[in-house]
Amino acid sequence: MSSVAFVIIAILTLAAALAAATLQKLMHAALSFAATLVGVAALFFLLGAEFVGLVLIFVYIGAVAVLIVFTILLTRRDVGKDRGANWTGALLATGVFGGLIWAILKTQSVAIVAPHMRSISVKRIGEALMTSYVWPLQCVGLLLTAALIGALVLVMEEKR
Amino acid sequence: MSKSVDQIFVNAKQWVLSWLTGAPGWVLQVASSLINIFALLFVFLTLFALMSVLERKILGRIQNRYGPNRVGPFGLLQPVADGIKMLIKEDIVPARADKLVHFLAPILIAAAAILALAVIPYGRNMTPFTIDGGILFFFAVGSTTELAVFMAGWGSNNKFSMLGAMRAIAQMISYELPLIITVLPVVMVVGSLTPDRIVAAQAEYTYGLVPRWFVFTPWGATAFILFFVSGLVESNRTPFDVPEGESEIVAGHMTEYSGFKYATFFMAEYIGMFAITGLAVTLYLGGWHSPARSLEFIPSYVWFFTKLGALLFVYIWLRGTLPRTRVDQIMNFAWKFILPMSFTCVIAAAVWHYAGRGLRGWLWSFFVIAIVYTALSMLLDTQRKFAPRVYRFAE
Amino acid sequence: MTPTLQVVLVVSTALFSAGLLAALSRRHAIFILIGIEMMLAAANLNFIAFWRFSPQPQPPTGVMIVIFSIAIAAAEAAVGLALVIAVYRHYRTTSVDHFDQLKG
């Protein structure tokens, strides 16, 4: 696994994530969120899970990011700006970050290097989905149908 | 002899790479990728230039006039003149537009279109980048086009642009689902998401005569037609070019773009068209295989581009012949007709497979598709009964 | 120097904290949703990292969990955004400071 590529992609992803959390202009923050997701997908590619990276791009950027920008558009009555990060939020987030980093750096058993592995093939994922994970697959299908119907019902205009 | 002509580009690339034999592994990989990328860009940008003039000439002939024929022999140097015009135009950005978003939108849309070209097999051993989930990569990259269209519409700070962008995105999202579901029967039957394996599964000839392309099966023919129509919509081509309908919303999301940025949008639309037709050729028309055993001496890439050219000709023909559809007609068509038919293709492919892949399977799957098609045609009778027309003249 | 598991975990922690920052400090309802989505993405990265660095041969458990997690996150984003639109219709604002009708 190439470490130069990893460091560059990680820095870009974190920069985009910070931009998404702190930018004032709404649309820019939403588009930085999409850039963060591209970075996370690239990290998945580097970690050998290419199928998941592609699914992430497809679902998140193709659907969720478009949903988010549409909703920003539709609820844009007052202002195109938002107050950025404020003090209590930043303090809490930094506190959580510090605590987790301390826990990670203290654990010696995670200071390991990646074992040699070929990327997982789509065929194996398909086999696993249809044999060991077939119940979660059906449940997720049901959940997605319920979410679809629920979202439609929520935004339907009430009949007078 | 014909094999060496067939592999001429692969051998040329190996010869160029042999200049770098002593270099470390990653240099060879980067060099190989760069050669692939440059060859791809060269071929498709030339094809884009050629198509922009051929489209106008063919449209002109359909409309009983000559197309552009002043610049160069038969007007074939017209793209050069167009390119010079686009490059020397003033690049106007609206004063209150969001500069960063306005600038990034054409770049993102062109990048997405060109990335999609990278996984299509253009000839024997001539796929630029072999990815295990190649078809998924194609659709993932194609779905980022929607976000870029939205950026273009919003960044222009113009109501027409915003409206055009919303229409374009609604259209693209609606037809993305049928696009993917019509690919599903092919993936099911072949058992792989890699375009190379899909082309290899269409290799032989049944009874030595008819090639085993998926378009010659009932589910394949239906899926091909549905994929073709969905591809038309995804590329915003007439009859579905509501987002860029000149008589309606100026130029939709591309209104505020001038000069080279407009040319980039134009190029992205055409390259998107090439990508979708390339995928249609790969999935249904047998990729780079030849249609008859006696014609196999013709190189594989010639066959691929011939099939691509035939599909592009049909695109241009449809543009010259059909009027524009209304937005609600497009949506109705997608959700009420194309989506159920594409689900039927999946079922018909399964029936074809389990009834043996021969004549019995063919007949059963044809039966399934015919029943659903007839049922849909009868259920979706949206003809309004018109009152007899009353004429009133100025008296 | 290849990245160790610690480095990948640090990256995902930073992403999680950025999501937490967005969820806690923003006033617009949609940004809170964006923060939640970022936290979910950081958790997915964690799963994939642990799956990748575990001793081989390894069943594809991490990948499976992430696939389902992405699907659920998309469903939750859709419903959450539908909620925001429905609430906007009633209150005419998306600033969460104004959603205080149930305040005691």
Please tell me the pTM assigned to this model.
0.89
- Closest-CA residue of A relative to C13 is A97
A122/B132 touch (CB, cutoff 8 Å), yes or no: yes
Residue B286 lies in a domain: yes
% chain B with pLDDT above 90: 32
Residue B394 lies in a domain: no
- Closest-CA residue of B relative to A2 is B26
Residue B19 lies in a domain: no
Other CB atoms within 10 A of residue B111 CB: 16
Q: What Rg, from alpha-carbon coordinates, does chain A have?
A: 20
Q: Is A16 on the interface with B (CB under 8 A)?
A: no
B144/A27 touch (CB, cutoff 8 Å), yes or no: no
Task: For residue C1, name the pLDDT band (cuts at 50, 70, 90).
Answer: very low
pLDDT score, position A85 = 61
Q: CATH number for the domain including C38?
A: 1.10.287.3510
Residue B275: both structure tokens together: 């990508």
| Mean pLDDT score across all residues of chain B | 86
CA distance A6 to A12: 10
The total domain count for chain B is 1
CB contacts < 8 A (A, C): 239
Residues B277, B311 contacting (CB under 8 angstroms): yes
Among A110, A125, A138, which would you mutate to test the C interface (most chain C Cβ atoms within 10 Å of its Cβ)? Answer: A110
Q: Which structural domain, as residue segments, surrounds residue B130?
A: 95-379
Task: For residue B98, name the pLDDT band (cuts at 50, 70, 90).
Answer: confident
Residue A80: what are its φ and ψ, rounded to 5°?
-100, 10
Nearest alpha carbon to residue B2 among B303, B298, B306: B298
Residue C69 lies in a domain: yes
**Mean pLDDT for the stretch of residues B235-256:** 72
pLDDT score, position A38 = 93
pLDDT score, position A79 = 55
Mean pLDDT lowest among B62-66, B293-297, C43-47: B293-297
With beta carbons under 8 A apart, name residues in chain C contacting A73.
none
B132/A119 touch (CB, cutoff 8 Å), yes or no: yes
Q: What sign results for the dihedral spanned by CA atoms C36, C38, C43, C44?
A: positive
Residue B55 lies in a domain: no
Q: Say whether pLDDT at B395 is over 70.
A: no
B136/A58 touch (CB, cutoff 8 Å), yes or no: yes
Residues B151, B105 contacting (CB under 8 angstroms): yes
- Chain-centroid distance, C-alpha A107: 26
Chains in contact with chain A (at least 3 beta-carbon pairs closer than 8 A): B, C
Q: Residue B112 half-sphere exposure, CB side, CA atoms within 13 Å?
A: 27
Predicted confidence (pLDDT) per residue in A100-121, tens digit: 999 988 887 766 777 777 777 8
Predicted confidence (pLDDT) per residue in A31-66, tens digit: 999 999 999 999 998 888 889 999 999 999 988 999
A69/B162 touch (CB, cutoff 8 Å), yes or no: no
Q: Is A69 on the interface with B (CB under 8 A)?
A: yes
Residue B145 lies in a domain: yes
Task: For residue B382, name the pLDDT band (cuts at 50, 70, 90).
Answer: low
Q: Which structural domain, as residue segments, surrounds residue C12?
A: 5-96
Q: Which of C19, C52, C77 sits opposite A64 (nearest CB)?
A: C77
Q: Say whether pLDDT at B247 is over 80.
A: no
Residue C101 lies in a domain: no
The total domain count for chain C is 1
Residues 6 or more apart in contact with residue B281 via CB below 8 angstroms:
B287, B304, B307, B308, B311
Residue B300 lies in a domain: yes
